[in-house]
Chains A and B, each alone.
Chain A
Amino acid sequence: MIPAIVVFIYLAVVLYIGIFAFRRSKGKEKAEDYFLASRSLGPFVFLFSLFGTNMTAFAILGSSGHAFSNGIVTFGLMASSSGLVIPLSIFFIGTRVWALGKKHGFMTPVQMFRDRWECGHIGTVIFAVQAVLLVPYIIIGIMGGGTTLNTISGGFVPYWFGGAIVAMVVMSYVFFGGMRGTAWVNTFQTVLFLTFGAVALIVIGVGMGGFRNAAQSMLAAPALAPLMTRERISPLYFFSYTFIPLSAIAFPHILIFCLTARKMGQFKKTVIFYPLCIMAIWLPCVFLGVMANRVTDVPEIRAKQEARRVLATQGKTMAPEARDELREKAAGDDVIMILLKRYAPFWLAGLLGAGIMAAVMASDSQILALSTMFTEDVFAFYGGKRRFGEGVQIQTGRIFIVLITMFAYAVALRAPETIFELAIQYAFSGYAALSPLLVAALFWKGSTKWGALATTAWTAAAVVAVAIFQHSVPAPAPGPATLVWSLGGWEVLTRTPGGTAVFGFMPVVPMVIVSALLMIVVSMLTRKPKDATIAKYFESAR
């Protein structure tokens, strides 16, 4: 119970920071101040809040859970590839969007697209697709909050109540503090969860009597040795994953955060330190997730391993529902919490639990981004701001924050997928497929609104198609994938235990490639914006 109390104190501190930010901004009832903190964030807050906003529940819970089941491959799959692709995209795209926002007053990506391609309703379509894809990300935060509080309190706080508390706290500081409150809370949280990794590694390592013996005994056990290599994942799948981080810059909350920097120079430290920050949090979590397989004196971990064993040996003869049930039992999203409970003293488990909560609660900026997008791209665009004024616009944004949080909470109570799968399969792949929109808008004079519409429609259709396909064809047991469609000896479409494969790649690869091709082909066939508009974006056209 003591760890849960420490976590509750942490939640109260976070709430106070949000309310303090509200007091600081009182009297400045301007949309730009509430939604973008008046574009005034300094270098330290900018780096930590931008990084923190991209580290959600899966950075700690999902990564260690994925590593528990799949081994060390998790780090290379998601962390080190993100450490390269995300700073590159911030360097090339984030800086340009910042400059355009500063010059033309844009507050959302859709405002920029509407101006760049001289379109109105197509912008609304892009908003709708972005909004629908962002909601799963918010759900992850609430699910992670429920799981964490439930585990840390030893089951005393039920999942539904833990999720409700996290939803309420996040909603409150976003509601009151807007972007300033969210950025300050994110900075505080990032400092906390960056220290989490190192402290957790030392405490658990000492508790286990050092990692040397654990590593040696894992390598000696035939069922566990593959977790110390990457043989459970194919190189094609590994390569596919490098497309997933393309989603980061296309996420509206990341792009909107890029608009909050006071100077462009603040991007310099951010892009240089980003890979190191990712390493600092992911490396210990992945390693501990793998090592959790050696903690066989904990009944919860033994139960997970038993479920994994049954799935591997008898899964083929089971009904799909029974397989899904076993998969849920084998999922390791809570292993890091189990390790802390087993090895950390009570007070430290509470502090480390607060570190986990910090990562889990990163859904704040997604909620704020959705609210910013709704009020700017829909409310203001369709005349609401002109008719009712800026004060009503901010209040509308606040009401939207309440509604979207309640909706996400309701879904989180019903969603059966693990945190990791839910995030990857829907939000990440979809946003990666939207990234050609930004590249085309900023680097290709020939791009048009019809190209943008084709890319957006394709993304929406592809995400829905993958979801329907995975719902209709049950996931096979661990082992060979189920071949659904082959052509001339090529395995075109297969259902794998973890998702879908197209020619052996994750769906994100064809999604991004087709998205880019549609942008190119459709733009070449349709009329370009006026020269004056293009000149606003390209120095060479002036």
Chain B
Amino acid sequence: MKKLLLILAVVTVYVLHQDFWNWRTAYPLVFGFVPIGLFYQGCFSVAASLLMWMLVKFAWPGHLEREVGENASEEDAPK
């Protein structure tokens, strides 16, 4: 279930990048000078960072690290 939700989150963020609804308009101008299309994509970058935080928190491939650790201790072990 956790895996499915994370896949869904990645797909959703990817789809949100294609913001065709802001395509032909500059309005509203955020802070009076930033076109909405640019502001949206800036917010998208923050969302991408949050997504990566979620992946690190809930899907970190810790087994790879353990394998390397085991491998290193096997090599270090007295023969």
Contacts and interface: CB of A to CB of B under 8 A. Distances in A.
A268 B60 contact: yes
Given A99-B65, A231-B24, A272-B53, A212 B33 contact: yes
Interface in B13-50: 13-14, 17-20, 22-26, 29, 32-35, 37-38, 41-42, 44-46, 48-49
A75 B24 contact: no
A274 B20 CA distance: 25
Contact of A229 (B37, B52, B60): B37
Contacts of B26: 219, 225, 228-229
A190 interface: no
Best-surrounded residue of A96, A268, A275, A539 (most CB of chain B within 10 A): A275
A102 B53 contact: no
A169 interface: no
Given A83-B48, A271-B56, A275-B48, A230 B23 contact: yes
A84 interface: yes
Nearest to A234: B23
A270 to B, nearest CB: 9
Contacts, number: 126
Given A272-B56, A275-B48, A278-B45, A265 B23 contact: no
A76 B41 contact: yes
Binding site secondary structure of chain A: helix
A229 B23 contact: yes
Q: Contact residue range for chain A?
A: 35 or more
A80 B20 CA distance: 15
Interface in A233-260: 235, 238-239, 242
B3 interface: no
Nearest to B70: A103
Nearest to A267: B56
Contact of B22 (A103, A230, A239, A265): A230
Interface stretch (A17-25, A87-95, A444-452): A87-95
Nearest to B60: A268
Given A84-B48, A279-B42, A271 B68 contact: no
Contact of B42 (A75, A87, A264, A274): A75
A79 interface: yes
A165 interface: no
A215 B29 contact: yes
Nearest to A280: B45
Best-surrounded residue of B24, B44, B45 (most CB of chain A within 10 A): B45
B61 A272 contact: no
A84 B51 contact: yes
Contacts of A168: none
B45 A83 contact: yes
A85 B73 CA distance: 35
A235 B29 contact: no
Contact of B17 (A73, A229, A231, A242): A242
A103 B17 contact: no
A339 interface: no
A103 B45 contact: no
Nearest to A73: B37
A76 B17 contact: yes
Given A215-B32, A231-B24, 12 more contacts: A76-B17, A80-B42, A83-B44, A95-B64, A210-B33, A215-B29, A228-B26, A230-B24, A231-B23, A235-B23, A264-B64, A279-B46
* 4 shortest interchain CB distances as A-B pairs: A228-B26, A99-B64, A211-B33, A279-B45
Interface of A: 72-73, 75-76, 79-81, 83-84, 87-88, 91, 95-96, 98-99, 102-103, 210-212, 214-215, 219, 225, 228-231, 235, 238-239, 242, 263-265, 268, 271-276, 278-279, 283, 286-287, 539
29 contacts: A72-B35, A76-B17, A76-B37, A76-B41, A76-B44, A80-B42, A81-B17, A83-B45, A84-B48, A88-B55, A91-B55, A91-B56, A96-B64, A99-B67, A99-B68, A212-B33, A214-B33, A229-B24, A235-B20, A238-B18, A242-B14, A263-B65, A265-B65, A268-B56, A271-B56, A279-B42, A283-B38, A286-B38, A539-B63
